[in-house]
Amino acid sequence: MAMGAMGGGRGGPGGPVGHGGFHGVDEAAQKKLNAQAPEIADLGARVVALFRPYTGRIIVTGILVVAGATIGVIPPLIVQRIFDDALFPVAGGGPELGLLVRLVLIMIGLFLLSAVLGVAQTWFTSTVGNDVTGDLRVKLFGHLQSMELGFFTRTKTGVIQSRLQNDVGGVSGVLTNTVTSILGNVVTVASALVAMVIIDWRLTLIAVFMMPILIFVQRRVGQVRARIAGETQESLAELTSITQETLSVSGILLSKAFNRQRAESARYSDENANQVQLQVRRAMSGQGFFAVVQVLMASVPAVIYLVAGYLIAGGTGAITAGTVVAFTTVQARLLMPLMGLMRVALDLQTSRALFARIFEYLDLTPAIIDRPDAVTVADAPGPLGRVEFRDVVFRYPDAAGAARPTLGGVSFVAEHGQHVAFVGPSGAGKTTILYLAPRLYEASGGTVLFSGADVRTLTQESIIDHVGIVSQETYLFHATIRENLRYAKPGATDAELEAACTAASIHHVIVGFERGYDTIVGERGYRLSGGEKQRIAIARVLLKDPPVLLLDEATSALDTVSERIVQEALDTAARGRTTLTVAHRLSTVIGADVIHVVDAGRIVESGTHAELLSNGGLYAELAAQQMAASQIEGIVAAEGPHDLPDRRADRAPVGAAGHDATLLLTADVSDTGALPVLEPDSEAPGDERVWSHRS
């Protein structure tokens, strides 16, 4: 939530710099809030440093503010001359019209100059403040982009959004108006006091007598308002979190699936009612004080008139009508700048917690960073695309100390062009292995090698440039198909897009849409089927053309027909690439060169599909369970694929994921010995290997 500007308005150059937002701090509440905020060394200096790139504009702004504030106190002095020398000459006689015209013209000229300076000051203030706020927001966003994957898995999205939007927005007013507010109010107060003393020092004493009382009362009221403002910030953060959770496509589907729309609306309504109440309390807090201030300030001129009358009657000094009018004019300009200076200090104190939260994120050190001497994959000694794990151990940072590591001593080698699959029970650590390969996570022990080099000696950017990832949950932006594809290669030509989509078996579907490649896919691609989204994701990876392909349950959420079609596209994409696949459905990996069975963080079996079935271990058990679960009573054998003209999908492929999968799913499961076993007909390497069947 934007906390409001420290100087939300401008009283004109030389006039009081208005304020909005926080008007003070409840000391006890603020101390508690600051205690909860992270301790940031040299916080004030770091905030000041944000303005350093704009020093030139700040200097110009300062000159404009000083000039405007100085000009602002001249008109009351001219008013004194108008009354005492032009309208009602002290020496007697009628009005001096010539002098009156000159003085009036001077006043009008000063007002015009003040207005011009005011426009220029506003422009400089606005540009500097908003540029600094924008720089801070971009810097924070860029730093978050550099954080490791683990940071986002353990941090709520709403919390990150709150830091980026609400906290930065909350300090934007401070960044925009602090400099001009301090400088303008200081100059205004100083020049007004000097002018008041010049006009009459005795009346000055009377005018400033009540200031300490007003300052004390204003401070107490400001404390209450700050506490309410803090509560308002927390309430708005909760509203943001509720909105993010429930109005996303997934959130809407969830609420509709469980018929919880009314409950979610009630939850939002309750928090919104709290927000409204806080806003009303914030608006009303201090209104009594400001009413008293208005009464007192309106009464000061009356008191001045009274004191001036006694002084004139007592003959203690020459006080003219011009003196009284000029003095009350200057005095009216004094209170608001004084209150503005107090609000600056209080707003800075209130904003301290927000600045600390922002810099806390900026000070986060990514758990995975490049070494100073890191080299690119191009300089690695091994074959491009070779992936090797040597006794790799991994434990999540937030895991309990007594808990077993997610991975414990994992070792394997994936040669260039080889298809290596990982299967096993849920939670065994398969996906973790996949994410360790491109160093999205950092191994707790052992060594992960990419192209023959320890990934810790390679730059992260060069590793990712050589890796393509297709996950179970395909993420598509709310944009056109063309824009989603070009996310992988911004400069890709239309011909390249079509070639990639043809290879992914999705081009003919796209051209069937009314807008073709310019079709908007909707939030997270919800306007497309699961298979279509996956094939677009595959096409996106093909555009990147990486030597290493990571497939994380890429077909597990699809129906049988879509699975076969997507699997054919994946087989096409995997040709000539090192492919690491995580799968629960064994039918999708039976053609892999090597299958590693993972259980409880360790590789317990390794081999080909045929070898693992023959071993009668965990893999054979998983295969038997899946075939038993897939049997349909009365179905003896799977029918061949049929063309369905009304279906956007292709006909099911006949290949490692089609015909072989059919045999696997329709075999007699009375024992594992009846399972179809694939064995190579030749010694051709990688995806050139030809498979045959034996029972």
pLDDT for 653 equals: 39
The predicted pLDDT at position 1 comes to 34
- The CA distance from 504 to 491, in Å, is 19
CA dihedral 242, 246, 249, 255 (to 10 degrees): 170
Contact in structure between 258 and 276 (CB atoms under 8 Å): no
Nearest to 499 by CA among 549, 573, 412: 573
* Greatest mean pLDDT among 248-262, 294-308, 335-349, 463-477: 463-477
Strands 677-680 and 691-694: antiparallel
- What confidence score (pLDDT) does residue 594 get? 93
pLDDT exceeds cutoff 50 at 571 = yes
User: In which residue are the tokens 């720089």 written?
Assistant: 135
Q: How confident is the model at residue 665 (pLDDT cuts 50, 70, 90)?
A: very low
pLDDT tens for each residue of 253-295: 667 666 677 888 888 888 888 888 877 876 776 666 667 666 7
CA distances from 144 to 76, 134, 163, 347, 435 (A): 54, 15, 11, 27, 19
Q: Is the pTM of this model over 0.85?
A: no
Specify the DSSP class assigned to residue 477.
Answer: -
Per-residue pLDDT at 214 exceeds 80: no
d(CA 128, CA 136): 12
pLDDT band, residue 220 (cuts 50/70/90): low
Domain 27-362 has CATH 1.20.1560.10: yes
Query: 519: which residues sit within 8 A by CB, 6+ positions away?
Result: 480, 481, 510, 513, 527
pLDDT band at 677 (very low <50, low <70, confident <90, very high): very low
Categorize the per-residue pLDDT at 30 as very low, low, confident or very high, splitting at 50, 70 and 90.
very low
DSSP 102-131: HHHHHHHHHHHHHHHHHHHHHHHHHHHHHH
Q: List, by residue range, all CATH 1.20.1560.10 domains of the chain.
A: 27-362
- Residue whose C-alpha is closest to residue 326's, from 196, 211, 201, 188: 196
Q: What whole-number distance in Å separates Cα of residue 410 and Cα of residue 671?
A: 31
Tell me the range of 273-277, 347-351, 482-486, 501-505 where mean pLDDT is highest.
482-486
One DSSP character per residue, 181-196 reads HHHHHHHHHHHHHHHH
pLDDT recorded at residue 394: 92
Q: Read off the tokens for 582.
A: 């995580």
Cβ atoms of residues 590 and 663 within 8 Å: no
For residue 677, CA distances in Å to 346, 443, 568, 661 come to 77, 36, 20, 11
Of all residues in the chain, what percent carry a pLDDT higher than 70?
Answer: 74
Per-residue pLDDT tens over the stretch 406-442: 899 999 999 998 999 999 888 888 989 998 999 988 9
Three-class DSSP category at 326:
helix
For 598, which DSSP code? E
Domain limits, CATH 3.40.50.300, in the chain:
387-466+546-694
Res 556: pLDDT: 65
CATH number of 387-466+546-694: 3.40.50.300
CA angle, residues 357, 361, 366, in degrees to nearest 5: 160
Stronger pLDDT, 662 or 252, i.e. the higher one: 252
Cβ partners under 8 Å of residue 447, min gap 6: 389, 390, 391, 392, 454
Tens-place pLDDT, residues 43-61: 778 888 888 888 888 889 8
* pLDDT of 678 above 50: no
SS (H, E, C) 238-251: HHHHHHHHHCCHHH
Q: Can you give the pLDDT at residue 10?
A: 36
Strand order in the sheet with 419-423: 467-471, 548-552, 578-582, 419-423, 594-599, 602-607
Q: Which residue reads 């108006």 in tokens?
A: 177
Using alpha carbons, select from 34, 116, 117, 614 the residue that is nearest to residue 350. 34
Band of pLDDT at residue 602, cut at 50, 70 and 90: very high
Write the DSSP symbol of residue 391: E
Residue 660, pLDDT above cutoff 80: no
The CA-atom distances, in angstroms, between 247 and each of 162, 250, 400, 637, 678 are 16, 8, 34, 45, 48
Query: What's the mean pLDDT when you consider all of the chain?
Result: 76
Buried b (16+ CB within 10 A) or exposed e, 71-108: bbbbbbbbbbbbbbbbbbeeeeeeebeeeeeebeeeee
637 burial type by CB count under 10 A (0-12 exposed, 13-18 middle, 19+ buried):
exposed
What the block records as the tokens of 361 is 């994120």
pLDDT the model gives residue 411: 94
Residues 6 or more apart whose CB falls under 8 angstroms from that of 399 comprise 405, 406
pLDDT at 651: 39
CA 668 to chain centre: 54
C-alpha to C-alpha distance for 495 and 499, rounded to whole angstroms: 6
Helices 201-208 and 287-314 sit at what angle, rounded to 10 degrees?
A: 150
Rounded CA separation 684/663 (Å): 23
Q: What is the mean pLDDT of residues 570-581?
A: 83
What is the rounded distance in angstroms from the CA atom of residue 695 to the CA atom of residue 675?
A: 7
Confidence at residue 679, expressed as pLDDT on a 0 to 100 scale: 41
Nearest to 597 by CA among 447, 403, 429, 435: 429
C-alpha angle 75-78-79 in degrees, rounded to nearest 5: 85
